[in-house]
Amino acid sequence: MAKILCVLYDDPVGGMPATYARDSLPTIARYPGGATLPTPLALDFTPGHLLGCVSGELGLRPFLQARGHTLVVTADKDGPGSVFERELPDADVVISQPFWPAYLTAARIARAPRLKLAITAGIGSDHVDLQAAAQHGLTVAEVTYSNSISVSEHVVMMVLALVRNYLPSYQCVLDGGWNIADCVARSYDLEGMQVGVVGAGRIGSAVLRRLKPFDVGLHYTDQHRLPAATEQELGARYHPDAAALAGACDVISLHCPLHPGTEHLFDAAMLARMKRGAYLINTARGKICDRDAVVQALASGQRPAASGQRPAASGQLAGYAGDVWFPQPAPRDHPWRSMPHHGMTPHISGSSLPAQARYAAGTREILECWLDGRTIRTEYLIVDQGRLAGAGAHAYTPGDTTAGSEDAARFHP
C-alpha cells in the first residue's frame, strides 16, 4: 500500500464555509483548443466547494482509504520540524500546489528513498528540483490546462486595476474620503496602449485574446513562435526576446515558466529597458523578477542611470501587480508587501473554485493511473524516466530554482 503526503494551503480562518455564494458551477465541455478535461474514474467531492485547503483534501480521502492507502494532509511544510519533513522519508507520493508549495529540494528528495511520484495540483512544478527528480527516477506530473483560464482572467483584472488606479480609489471609499483628484491623478485608459506577454502558451495566449477587445496593440515573445494564422487573428507582433519586447510596451504580463534561464529575467537592466510609466504583471513565478529591482523601479525619485549602470530609484514602473512571490508564503517583511503602487495578492489566480474542481479531478486521474499501472497522459508529464518529458520538455530546462526556499519558514500566520 502507498503513502500519499499531500501539502495544501490552510483552511479559512473562520472554518470551512457552511454555504457558498453560488449553488453550482458553469459547465465547460472542453478546454480552449479542444483538450479534454480530467477524466478520473469517479469523483468524491462537490465541484464548487473548497478543495485546495487542508480540510478539502482535494476530495481524495474516500478514494484512497477504500483502496487501503494512507493519506497524510498538512499545511505545515517549512523548516526541519515541519510535518512535511517528518512524513516525507517514507512517502511514496507527494502532492503539492503552486499556491502553497512544498519545496522538493535535492536534499529532501535524497531523504525520501521510497518517493516515486510528485504531483502538482495545478500548473507549474518549479518548486521541485527537476534535475534531482530526474536523477532519482521520480515522475513529476501536473494538471496541465486546469487553471489557465482562471489565471488569464486574473491578469485582465490586475491590468485594469493598475491602469485605472482602482485600488487606491477603493481605499478612499473605505477611509470615508471623496477626493476625486487623488483618485484620478494616476488613472489612465487602457485603450490605445501597447500590451505584451512574455510567454504565449496557454495562459499568455488567453490573455492576448481577452485583451484584444480593449483596442490595444498586442505583442508577444516566446521560444516557440505562434503560427502565422494565429498571429494574424490576434494582430499580435512577435519579438525575438524579452529585451526586444520591453521597450515597445506600456503593459507587460509574464507567463513563462521559472527555470534557470528565466530566473531574474526582469532585473534592473531589463526594467530600465521598459517605458517609463509602464506596468508589469507577474502571475508566472516570483523569481522571474528581481525582488529589489522591482521595489526600486516603483520608488519615486531620479530617472534610470545611464546605460550599463544600475538604475537609481526611479519611478520607472507606474505599477506592479501579481500573485506570485518567492518564497511562498512570503515572509512578513517581504518588501513587496509595502512597496508603493502595487496590486499584489497571495497566490490565488489559479485557485478559483472552478479551477480547484479541475485540478482536484486531474490529481485523482494521475493517482489512479499511477496506482493502477496505467500510462499518465503525456501532457501531464514534466519529468519521466530520468528526463524532462511531456509538457516539461516543451517549457522547462534542466536545473533547479528552489534555492532560497528555506526562507518560507519565516512566515508565521
Question: Quick check: is 164 catalytic?
Answer: no
Task: Flag whether 179 is marked binding.
Answer: no
Q: Which residues pair with 72 in a beta bridge?
A: 5
Task: Flag whether 202 is marked binding.
Answer: yes
Contacts 24+ apart (CB under 8 A), 181-189: 186/318, 186/341, 187/163, 188/163, 188/164, 189/163
Task: Flag whether 366 is marked binding.
Answer: no
Task: Flag whether 260 is marked binding.
Answer: yes
Task: Flag whether 139 is marked binding.
Answer: no
Task: Flag whether 115 is marked binding.
Answer: no
Task: Dig out the grid coordinates for 253 from the structure.
Answer: 504580463
What are the CA-CA distances from residue 151 to residues 34, 50, 67, 284 (Å)? 18, 18, 34, 9
Task: Flag whether 338 is marked binding.
Answer: no
Q: Which amino acid is at 300?
A: S
Task: Flag whether 205 is marked binding.
Answer: no
Question: Quick check: is 282 catalytic?
Answer: no
For residues 127 and 402, the answer to whether their CB atoms sit within 8 Å is yes
Angle between helices 166-174 and 148-163 (to 10 degrees): 70
Catalytic, out of 127, 255, 273, 285:
285
Q: Output b/e per residue, 232-243; b: 16+ Cβ within 10 A.
A: eebebbebeebe
Task: Flag whether 82 is marked binding.
Answer: no
Task: Flag whether 199 is marked binding.
Answer: no
Catalytic, out of 328, 341, 342, 356:
328
Task: Flag whether 261 is marked binding.
Answer: yes
Catalytic, out of 147, 282, 296, 356:
147
Task: Flag whether 147 is marked binding.
Answer: yes
Please tell me the total number of residues recorded for the chain in this structure: 413
Pairwise CA distance, residues 167 & 342, whole Å: 9
Peptide linkage before 329 cis (omega within 30 of 0): yes
Task: Flag whether 182 is marked binding.
Answer: no
For residues 3 and 90, the answer to whether their CB atoms sit within 8 Å is yes
Task: Dig out the grid coordinates for 264 from the structure.
Answer: 531574474
Q: Which amino acid is at 288?
A: I
Task: Flag whether 257 is marked binding.
Answer: yes
Task: Flag whether 252 is marked binding.
Answer: no
Catalytic, out of 273, 347, 364, 377:
347
Pairwise CA distance, residues 212 & 104, whole Å: 39
Residue list, annotated binding site for NAD(+): 148, 202-203, 222, 257-261, 283, 323, 347-350
Residue list, annotated binding site for substrate: 123, 147
Residue list, annotated binding site: 123, 147-148, 202-203, 222, 257-261, 283, 323, 347-350
Query: Annotated catalytic sites, by residue?
Result: 147, 285, 328, 347
